Amino acid sequence: MELNPLHKVDLEIVKEVIKICEENNLSYYALGGTMLGAIRHKGFIPWDDDIDLGMPRNDYEKFLEIAPSLLSSHLKVVNYKNTPEYHYYITRVLDTTTRVIEDRIGNENKYTNASIDIFPIDGTPNNIVLRKIYYLRVMYHRALMSLCYKDSIDRKRKRNFLEKVLLAILELIPIEKMTTPNKQKEKIDRMLSKQDIVKSNFIGNIMGAYRTREIVPKEWYGKGTKYPFEDIELVGLDNYDEYLKFTYGDYMKLPTEDNRKTHFSLVSDEVGDD
């Protein structure tokens, strides 16, 4: 099946990213919908329009250090450390020649560039009680970070009861007088990077869309296995079946049409086009 234009752009970005990883001995894994797409569709989920990769923390930091000088000139590594106005904790690799609208954002910040997401993969406390406390601390600072961008919060996203209550309470507080989003990102970064992935039994990407459902036994990751993805192969988790069941449930069952959500809409093939 012919790829849509946005999928083509994303695929070209990821080809450059994995080339850098392979040439510099950096580990990466397809995560979330990208792992699901590789298994269920042998590529993109048709209505999904981004790619999620995760890298163990040390490899993630190394990638951030070397990628800007190795990527093609039209690709740009963006995160909160090099772009203060950037909304998210995670890193994106942008194609600066392709403009898109981020559908969940309802203000002028919705205009951005086609991109793929790159997450750090971190450890968690081995003690189950300490791990639960750790989750709550991260979620608290994640909520504060989100509330600093109140008009950009994705209010259609399904949230658990605790998240709904926490957001409702925090929305009543003038967050902007108490903190800044980048202060919260720095706190999150310190908490996540302190966890030693080598010593941790449960690892993953707590800053992903599924939060704690993306924290899984380390052996599920393993050394990584290559899976077909469109006209390339992507490295994914060795035990993709347990990972996808834990994150999505019956992952081979297609969602209903009203639950098939896109993230981005293509504006043009060139920045600056009206």
Above 70 in pLDDT, residue 267?
no
> Does 151 have pLDDT greater than 80?
no
Question: Could you read off the pLDDT of 158-196 as tens digits, one per residue?
Answer: 667 777 777 777 677 777 778 999 999 999 999 999 999
Which pLDDT does position 272 carry in this prediction? 41
The predicted structure's pLDDT at residue 29: 99
Domain for residue 191, yes or no?
yes
Amino acid (one-letter) located at 125: P
Determine the structural domain holding residue 147 and report its residue range. 5-268
Q: Assess if residue 129 is contained within a domain.
A: yes
pLDDT at 120: 98
- Euclidean distance between the first and final Cα of the chain, in Å? 30
Q: What is the pLDDT of residue 1?
A: 60
- How many whole angstroms separate alpha carbon 28 and alpha carbon 17? 10
Q: Which residues lie below 8 Å from residue 60, measured CB to CB, with a gap of 6+?
A: 54, 91, 118, 119, 120, 121
Q: For 145, list phi and psi in degrees, rounded to 5.
A: -60, -45
Asked if residue 274 is part of any domain, the answer here is no
Look over the chain and give the mean of its residue pLDDT values, rounded to a whole number: 89
On the 0-12 / 13-18 / 19+ scale of CB atoms within 10 A, 47 is middle
pLDDT reported for residue 271? 43
Q: How confident is the model at residue 265 (pLDDT cuts 50, 70, 90)?
A: low
Is the pLDDT at 73 greater than 60, yes or no?
yes
Residue 26 lies inside a defined structural domain of this protein: yes
Q: Which whole number is the average pLDDT over 78-98? A: 94
Domain-embedded: residue 95: yes
Domain count, the chain: 1
When mean pLDDT is compared over 63-72, 109-118, 257-266, the highest value belongs to 63-72
Q: Given this model, what pLDDT does residue 152 score?
A: 62
Give the pLDDT score at 118. 98
* Nearest Cα to Cα of residue 111 among 91, 87, 90: 87
Whats the size of the chain, residue-wise?
274
Residue 161 lies in a domain: yes
pLDDT 10s digits, 205-221: 999 999 999 999 999 99
- What's the whole-model pTM score? 0.86
Residue 263: the pLDDT is: 63
The arithmetic mean of pLDDT across residues 152-162, rounded, is 66
Q: Is residue 203 part of a domain?
A: yes
- Strand bridging mode 52-56 / 111-123: parallel
Q: Does residue 252 lie in a domain region? A: yes
